Chain A
Amino acid sequence: MKAILGLALGVLTAIGGFVDIGDLVTSTVVGSRFGMTLVWAILVGMVGICLFAQMSGRVAAISGRATFEIIRERLGDRLALANLGASFLINLLTLTAEVGGIALAMQLASSIQPMLWMPVAAFAVWIVIWRVKFTILENVTGMLGLAIVVFAVAVFVLQPNWLDLGMQVLQRAPVHSSESPATYWYFAIALFGSAMTPYEVFFYSSGAIEEKWTKKDVSQSRMNVLVGFPLGAMLSISLVAVAAIVLLPQEIAVTSLYQVALPVAQALGTVGLIIAILGFVAVTFGAALETTLSSGYTLSQFFGWPWGKMVRPAHASLFHLTMIVSLLIGLGILMTGVNPVQVTELSVVFSAVALPLTYLPILIIANDPQYMGKETNGKVTNFFGLIYLGIILIAAVAAIPLLIITGAGS
């Protein structure tokens, strides 16, 4: 019974933890401009994150060591430094977007300007990391994040023309002829990048070490990933769908977080709206915790500093200092007055650029018997791993030119 409860909790946490500010914004922007035509990019990204998250969880459970520690040992300082640089900077950008997202969500609940919420949000993230146990932190935010299910409910309440919606999924061109093919592909990469955000993998594998996973936890980890993440992706698709049903016909292009919530208000009234706002706060806060911890994990694991929530702060001072400095940098960026939604849009595209440096080392280590023993990747996993490396490379190469050509999708 305890095992079943543990499994259910893991799956539910994975569902709630899949969506973050990047998914909220990118999915709704895409739905409002392209209808359902880009849903395939979410599905491709979902398979990719399942593949690499279960791989990194297995590496952590079998070797008992953290990702960056092994990467540096196995691939040498240069490649590991490139990996660290790209991952850390993208993580910092994502952290900035998540803290901004908390502030935007709190504005919807209070009318108070986001600029005033930003320091409060950053402080709240720090205090929770400092005081709250890892499992509570992970499970509570994951469970509250399930409030986003309200978007899936809204899809049915809105009673769309299912045939029309289904036809859009199969369509290979923008619904509106005014959208250029370059913009279409730019947003395909953004959706892919938001599904495969690197921090999800660092947090997942480091969490495995924090929770002291062993070989016997591998199957539960696989279940969490293979059931939880696809259901989380369904939430992203629900976000696209409600925007396609409500915002696209009215030609409302999403530029603010409040617009994400409007279709739910139409479908379910104020109760639905309040649940959606609660979901926004939960998913952005949860992701802010994960990205802040990931910034500490990446640097500490690379440099071999003591790290982890289980270690007393006095013994892991550099780990905690890294997180505090990262939060302050993120806050500093936001206090310049930059629009958090634009930071989010940029963070998902730059995530795509950094993906090869994040995922190639994981694939190499998961194939190394020195670390994995008999638990190295099978042929099927390697086949898909290589296909995904190809997709990741194409996305990484195309991201910046498309960003420039489309003026960041404008």
Chain B
Amino acid sequence: MSMDKRGQRLAVAGAVALSIALAGCSAQSTQYGQLAQATGTAASAAQSAAYTLSLHRLRDLIGPVTDTGLSDSMTNLQQAADSLTGMTLTGAARTAHDDLLKHVRAAQDAVLRAQAMLQIHSDSPVASARQALEHAAQALSLRESDLKAKE
């Protein structure tokens, strides 16, 4: 009888521990999912801005399209940054978050720099902004894949 009770207690304790572990995993998985979504948005926006600048350099775009492209990319990067800063994260996800935010901020800076340079019709610094955007897009894209794998 006492063995039965002990067995029951062990089973309950095991179930509780398993539930906590599963809940922990699930919460972690949700966190990675949220991070992956924001990262994907930022990577796409950064890449889009870089592509816009490369077409601009080849004189394939008209001014309003370049302006709209950079402004829309900025909006999407800001949305991703807001989404990242609004997250409450724990553990490894927290570390990943800080790294992601650094790359999103770098992309935002590059877009701002490009916008400023285009206003004074200066092309050479725009090339460096494009490179910075490509670098940020690549880094974010790699991290998005990692996050999706962990999800």
Contact = CB atoms under 8 A, between A and B. Distances in A.
Interface of B: 37, 40-41, 43-45, 47-48, 51-52, 55, 59-65, 67-69, 72, 76, 137, 141, 145, 148
B67 A111 contact: yes
Contacts of A273: 60-62, 65
A274 B41 CA distance: 28
Contacts of B76: 255
Interface stretch (A94-102, A128-136, A264-272): A264-272
Contacts of A109: 64
Contacts of B145: 178
B68 A108 contact: yes
Most buried by A among B40, B52, B68, B76: B68
Interface string A97-141: 000000000011111000000000000000000000000000000
A262 B51 contact: yes
B95 to A, nearest CB: 22
Contacts of A410: 37
22 contacts: A107-B64, A108-B65, A111-B63, A111-B64, A178-B148, A251-B44, A252-B47, A252-B48, A252-B51, A253-B41, A255-B72, A256-B69, A256-B72, A258-B52, A262-B55, A265-B61, A265-B65, A266-B55, A266-B60, A270-B61, A274-B62, A410-B37
B51 A111 contact: no
Interface of A: 107-111, 178, 250-253, 255-256, 258-259, 261-262, 265-266, 269-270, 273-274, 277, 410
Contacts of B60: 265-266, 269-270, 273
A178 B68 CA distance: 28
B37 A251 contact: no
A403 B48 CA distance: 26
A102 to B, nearest CB: 15
A250 B64 contact: no
Contact of B68 (A111, A250, A266): A111
Secondary structure at the B interface, as helix, strand, loop or mixed, is: helix
Contacts of A269: 59-60
Given A251-B43, A251-B47, A258 B37 contact: no
Contact of A250 (B41, B45, B47, B69): B47
A277 B68 CA distance: 13
Contacts of B59: 269-270
A274 B60 CA distance: 10
A107 B64 CA distance: 7
A259 B48 contact: yes
Contacts of B51: 250, 252, 262
A161 B138 CA distance: 24
A258 B47 contact: no
Contacts of B62: 270, 273-274
A272 to B, nearest CB: 9
Nearest to A274: B62
